[in-house]
Amino acid sequence: MKIVLATLNAKYIHSSLALRYLRAYARADFPNIDLCEYTIKDVTMNVVADIYKRKPDVIGFSCYIWNIEETIPILQMLRKVLPDVKIVLGGPEVTYDSEYFMNRIPEADVIVFGEGEKTFHHVLTEFKGRNRLELVPGILYRDEEGKVKRTFPRDKLDLDEIPTPFDDDDLPTLTNRVVYFECSRGCPFTCSYCLSSIESGVRYFDLDRTLRDLKRLIDAGVKTVKFVDRTFNIHRRYALSVFDFLIKNHNGTIFQFEITADILKPDVVQYLAENAPPGIFRFEIGVQSTNDLTNSIVKRKQDFEKLSDTVRSVKASGKIDQHLDLIAGLPEEDYDSFRKTFNDVFALGAEELQLGFLKMLRGTGVRHEAPQYGYVFMENSPYEILGNNVLSFDDVIRIKRVEDVLEKYWNAHRTERTVTYLIQREFQSAFDFFQEFGDYWEEQGWNRIGHQLEDLFKRLYAFLDARGTNNLDIALGLMKLDYLQAFKNKPRGIWWERTLSKEESQEIIRELAERPEILGERFAALRLSEADIHKHCLLETVPFHPATLERSEESELLLAFYGRGQEAGATYFYKQRERERVV
């Protein structure tokens, strides 16, 4: 029996863990399985042609919120060109409201709900044998008259029954993609917007097996591993063992974890602060909302004080990047309350802050309770909200404008100095900066055109200028620093008007070549000749003292040095200029 296991990943860089498990579990009895990963951007016809040419008897498709709308047309075409093929669907998107999907997708023979490994194997066994699908727990199927029937749910698996999902011949295809990895299944929490809250209990893979699998990924040269455990740190000892193992064995692989920050114990943070190699771990922390009423409605227990302590301590360690998530549009969180949530969380200073909108996932509590809070939302996936009784559609689109500039100007790490300064000194709050800028961005029609790095800076400057921002020259100075930092080599052009004439620059360079100690010992130690300075340095002035950002009486000379073989960014040297003298 020839089997194709297929899915459309969100992007090429992602990979499907589910398909790898299904194959691993079935393979001993059904060795002829092709694992086919496409993306949601792939042309439907090409996907259909690729599956068709494999001449499968059974096709298993993995369905998620990000691919269901693109998967359905593929199934419709496959049914036409392979009329006898058995089509089996599984995955979180079809696990709930499965009858709806059996009706919407008449091409599907079977839908597997919940955990799929054992059930898929069982379905294949029935296809090969007597076709008694009514004996398979955990599915919906069509009986002889075409009626949709549902069987009882299957008991949960003992996870160690599942063979490792990572094959030796598969590993080379994964090195440059994100490899998803599970230590556990299930979440003890009950957040009503999340599918993981539906199933109770947490099960673990045997720790030694976990460490063995991780070692294989590291040895294969995989660049990024993302743990998909719902709350990685719920089991303190298990988590510490994994951290400890990775600290000793990481070999440059980057590991991302979803952490519940308010329960991460200070001793674990301290252990990581002391031992974690910089840049190897990354924490994703869902904060979602700081509004107590909202959190209690969605049954999310969260101690924001403790969460903040953890985020600050991790940040202070300087070793682990943190990515904090917010959800706009939760029940009873209106525009002003969301503004507060945003500002509370932004103040923690995490490297990234992601603002998403509530999605009414099939199967979740918030979807069941939607009428109670006046929700209107998209009919098809991703079921994003369009408003509710306290948040109008106008508010939703206003907040979308915040999301847009937040991504470009904060999460992309291009304008950190400038934005931090503006928020601290020129705007009432972080949210107000992003909102005002986002509104201006849209008014100018910039959301309809592309932009190079230089445009991002010019647009920020234009916005600050148009609203009559105080101390615009200081903001401009910081923008210069942020801009110059983005290059590995001396940039060819700059977007602002130079403050030093050619003659002045030449004179300064001559003087610096003769007396490099003017810029301090570190600069002198570089031993640059006049030609080197011309080639590797860029001279500018900024109107503030670099340490305090207070306005200097005389402008400050800035030298940006782009060293040979330097990883990224410029090294800056400063010198206060004196009246009557060039330097």
Point out which residues bind ligand B12 (CB under 6 A): 9-10, 14, 16-18, 21-22, 60-62, 64-66, 88, 90-93, 112, 115-117, 120, 180, 182, 194-196, 228, 230, 356, 359, 361, 382
- SS3 annotation, 52-96: HCCCCCEEEEECCCCCHHHHHHHHHHHHHHCCCCEEEEECHHHHC
Instruction: Verify binding: residue 367, ligand SF4, rule CB under 6 A.
Output: no
Which partner from the list ligand SF4, ligand B12, none does 333 bind, CB cut-off 5 to 8 Å by kind?
none
Q: Please calculate the CA angle 383-384-387 and round it to the nearest 5 degrees.
A: 125
Instruction: Verify binding: residue 289, ligand SF4, rule CB under 6 A.
Output: no
Residue labelled with tokens 């670099």: 546
Nearest by Cα to 21 from 167, 138, 139: 167
What is the DSSP code (8-state) at residue 410? I
Three-state SS for 314? helix
Are 569 and 487 a contacting pair, CB within 8 Å?
A: yes
Instruction: Verify binding: residue 231, ligand SF4, rule CB under 6 A.
Output: yes
With CB under 6 A as the contact rule, the residue among 20, 185, 230, 401 that binds ligand SF4 is 230
Residue labelled with tokens 């004439």: 501
CB of 129 to ligand B12, least distance (A): 18
Three-state SS for 480? helix
CB of 90 to ligand B12, least distance (A): 2
Nearest by Cα to 582 from 562, 542, 555, 561: 555
Structure tokens at 137: 């727990």
Structure tokens at 30: 């059904």
Structure tokens at 511: 């003087």
Are 373 and 388 a contacting pair, CB within 8 Å?
A: yes
CB of 325 to ligand SF4, least distance (A): 9
Which amino acid is residue 399, in one-letter code? Answer: I
- Kindly determine how many residues on this chain lie close enough to bind ligand SF4 according to the rule CB under 6 A: 9
For ligand B12, the closer CB: 75 or 311 = 75
Instruction: Verify binding: residue 189, ligand SF4, rule CB under 6 A.
Output: yes
Instruction: Verify binding: residue 24, ligand SF4, rule CB under 6 A.
Output: no
For ligand SF4, the closer CB: 187 or 326 = 187
With CB under 6 A as the contact rule, the residue among 58, 187, 422, 423 that binds ligand SF4 is 187
Nearest by Cα to 36 from 57, 61, 55, 11: 61
Residue 254 pairs in a beta bridge with: 224
Instruction: Verify binding: residue 5, ligand SF4, rule CB under 6 A.
Output: no
Nearest by Cα to 540 from 561, 516, 517: 561
Residue 328 pairs in a beta bridge with: 357
C-alpha distances in Å from residue 336, one per residue of 194, 290, 340, 396, 399: 24, 12, 6, 12, 11
For ligand B12, the closer CB: 22 or 307 = 22
CB of 186 to ligand SF4, least distance (A): 9
Instruction: Verify binding: residue 23, ligand SF4, rule CB under 6 A.
Output: no
Which partner from the list ligand B12, ligand SF4, none does 65 bind, CB cut-off 5 to 8 Å by kind?
ligand B12
Instruction: Verify binding: residue 286, ligand SF4, rule CB under 6 A.
Output: yes
CB of 299 to ligand SF4, least distance (A): 9
CB of 197 to ligand SF4, least distance (A): 4
Instruction: Verify binding: residue 359, ligand SF4, rule CB under 6 A.
Output: no
CB of 286 to ligand SF4, least distance (A): 6
CB of 530 to ligand SF4, least distance (A): 59
Instruction: Verify binding: residue 196, ligand SF4, rule CB under 6 A.
Output: yes
Other C-beta atoms closer than 10 Å to the C-beta of 502 total 8
CB of 175 to ligand B12, least distance (A): 17
Instruction: Verify binding: residue 479, ligand SF4, rule CB under 6 A.
Output: no
CB of 237 to ligand SF4, least distance (A): 20
Instruction: Verify binding: residue 297, ligand SF4, rule CB under 6 A.
Output: no
Instruction: Verify binding: residue 477, ligand SF4, rule CB under 6 A.
Output: no
Alpha helices (runs of H) in 198-303, residue ranges in sequence order: 207-219, 236-249, 266-275, 292-297
Residue 446 CA to residue 133 CA, distance in Å, equals: 55
What is the DSSP code (8-state) at residue 384? B
For ligand B12, the closer CB: 225 or 479 = 225
Residue 289 CA to residue 304 CA, distance in Å, equals: 9
Which partner from the list ligand B12, ligand SF4, none does 286 bind, CB cut-off 5 to 8 Å by kind?
ligand SF4
Instruction: Verify binding: residue 197, ligand SF4, rule CB under 6 A.
Output: yes
Q: Which residues bind ligand SF4 (CB under 6 A)?
A: 187, 189, 191, 194, 196-197, 230-231, 286
